[in-house]
Amino acid sequence: MSRTARSPVILWCAISCWLSATAFSAEPAIVVAPGVFDLEQTEGLGLQAAGGEHGYLYVAADHKYKFCHHPQLVVFRGSLFATWSNGRVDEDAVGQRILISSSPDGVRWGTPQWLTGERHEICVAAGLHVFDDTLIAFFTVTGGTNFHPETALFAIRSRDGKEWSKRQLITKGFFIEGPRALHDGRLLLAGEQVDPDRETGRMRVLISDDPSGLGPWAEVQIEPQMAKTFGYTEPALLLTGPGKATLLLRNYSGTLYASTSNDNGSSWSVPEQTNYPDSTARIAAGTLPSGMSYLINNASATQFDRGNLVLGLSQDGVTFDRALLLRGEPTKVRYPGKHKLAGWQYPHAVSWRRHLYIAYSVNKEDVAITRIPLKRLR
């Protein structure tokens, strides 16, 4: 075949990709309304405090492991469950394990228990998923570094949250969040490409029509125009209508990027920059029982500034015209270690019993939780 000749398959793919790209709206995926944030006020961003009750699931101490991160929440059998990564001092170092705790009321929490992880491994909490009467815990096991070719996602299962199955390999990649529901039972799994695929790509996005999250996954493509804009992308899912979804993406620009899908996750637009401020950290997003969308992040244009944890609210999942300050008190790292940063960070949220629960790490040492009455967010 000559260099200029094109096979029918390649030509069809080029036409298909062009049609897919033109099918997406030119409107922004999300937008923050003018005046919501005062970025010149580094303490509090000019926001009203959300209030609510604050508590701790784990507090680092001299006699305990001193690294905590990647908290996750889910409701199972009438209780609220939480898992998180737990290491000796440094982030993602050998011996890092996963802990689990549960609460019957969202206030009283049990003593954290070892869930999984061996002394020679590096385990990263990657979310909880409930299917029928089974609780499924996902976790990433790295190959020594997070983007090592052998880094992969695993899962274990339990009928009671106490006794767990042997681990099951799910897919390659680095993940810090488990499956999220799209529409009609379809699941989405979003994380990071690992080497050698990371040389040209960043986010790794998969879909499955197996509601357990344990069946086969199919990869879908999201192609960022400038890969160097993205390090960890840590995609957060926001549902905006039947078959419509938005993935919010961490990056180095000072504001979130976003990619949209109009076909229930089968294809995604080229990620585009939004005007929603973000300090380069994990984002949490979702829908409240009222139908209102929420976005929780460190809303600062200063890279790695995690001093303010902010809850943004939107009636339509597109325009965020209201925001509340979840936590903004000054914090300080007590046990210095690799990659540790002060602040309230890496949130995960779930609605339960007329409250919104938000779990987050503090200085990458402690795990805290805030619960806010849903009526306060109306």
Q: Is the pLDDT of residue 64 over 90?
A: yes
Average pLDDT, the chain: 93
What are the tens digits of pLDDT across the range 155-190?
999 999 999 999 999 999 999 999 999 999 999 999
Confidence of residue 287 (pLDDT cuts 50, 70, 90): very high
**At residue 253, what is the residue type?**
S
Mean pLDDT over 356-367 rounds to 98
Q: 162 with 176: CB under 8 angstroms?
A: no
Report the pLDDT value the prediction gives residue 133, as an integer from 0 to 100.
Answer: 96
**At residue 230, what is the residue type?**
F
Residues sharing a CB contact under 8 Å with residue 226, sequence separation 6 or more, in sequence order: none
Confidence of residue 378 (pLDDT cuts 50, 70, 90): confident
Report the pLDDT value the prediction gives residue 18, as an integer from 0 to 100.
Answer: 37
Query: Which residue from 76, 63, 77, 72 is spatially nearest to 99, judged by alpha carbons?
Result: 72
Q: In what order do the strands lie in the sheet with 152-158?
A: 123-131, 134-141, 152-158, 168-172
Report the pLDDT value the prediction gives residue 98, as an integer from 0 to 100.
Answer: 98
Mean pLDDT over 117-121 rounds to 97
Report the pLDDT value the prediction gives residue 235, as an integer from 0 to 100.
Answer: 98
Q: What's the pTM?
A: 0.92
What are the tens digits of pLDDT across the range 258-285?
999 999 999 999 999 999 999 999 999 9
CATH classification code of 21-377: 2.120.10.10
What are the tens digits of pLDDT across the range 189-227?
999 999 999 998 999 999 999 999 999 999 999 988 888
What are the tens digits of pLDDT across the range 5-58?
333 332 333 333 433 443 444 578 999 999 999 999 989 999 999 999 999 999
What are the tens digits of pLDDT across the range 291-343?
999 999 999 989 999 999 999 999 999 999 999 999 999 999 999 999 999 99
Cα 193 from chain centroid (whole Å) = 15
